[in-house]
Amino acid sequence: MVRPGLQAHVSIDVTTGFLVLFVLTAVCFIATGRVNPGVPDKPNPAQSSGTMSLAHPGDEYQMSRDTNRYVLGFDHFCEFVGNDIGRGNLPCFVTFLVLLSLLSTYVVICSGWITVLYWLPPLPEYHLLADPWRLGIAAVIVLLVAWGLKSCLGSESCQGVIPLVMMLPGAWVGAVLVVLVLGATLLLPLTTDMLSNVTPLRNPTAFFLILPCLIFATLFWSMSAHWVHLLWDGISQKMWLRAQGFRKQRSPAAPTDNVGGEAALV
């Protein structure tokens, strides 16, 4: 959606660069989900002593509670790739994060590039429309979005995730950038003529892609730096969280469990 307008203004082949990054990212995504993270081989039933319980394979193995299996150098379970991350696929996982960061950054650069070209003189294609009713509607929308973000940050799901995300390097810088771009995304469509006469060569798609791709780029660059640091130091995410004093919140026990426990004691 961004390529036609940008390609009409520049001579660089922006499509090939995107396709190369996309294919490499997809390959690393598949590899991270398919490569054995470090799960030991199952014991041969013919050689077992009649019991099917799996003994602990060693101190370097840890139990993944999401998949109920031991993993060598267990780091964490990644819902995005659907696999445990351990010593076997951690390099693929880190490479996937780096390529995903590059891909998101590439889209941000292309989208920002064509947006700036639309505004450059001598004949800018976007013009400011400072009408009072436009400014009033924009202010109301900004207040509604701010109220929604405040409600989201106060929810139970965000309270368990936001502290973990803000521990990553560059999280505060990314948060400030996202707020700035979010404000521009809300205000400019109402105070400019960027939605008029939309064609493949002149459309606001590039502008609206900046915000989500900037969020992804900031998030994945921060995650890439974090896991490269862990990989360099030879420690796991689980060990790092414990060193930072982070503890996963556990859901309180149901009342019926207490009743059953008291009955068992009696």
Residue 256: predicted pLDDT:
45
Residue, of 161 and 51, whose pLDDT is higher: 161
- Going by pLDDT thresholds of 50, 70 and 90, the confidence category of residue 121 is confident
- Specify if 259 maps to a domain: no
What lies within 8 Å, CB to CB, of 188 at 6+ separation is: 194, 207
Q: Report pLDDT digits (tens) over 164-187.
A: 777 777 778 878 888 888 888 888
- Specify if 215 maps to a domain: yes
Residue 137: predicted pLDDT:
93
- Specify if 265 maps to a domain: no
Domain range for 131 is 3-40+61-247
How many domains does the chain fold into? 1
Q: How buried is residue 13: exposed, middle or buried, by Cβ count under 10 Å (0-12/13-18/19+)?
A: exposed
Structure tokens at 159: 């309270």
Report the number of secondary-structure helices (H) and strands (E) in the chain: 9, 4
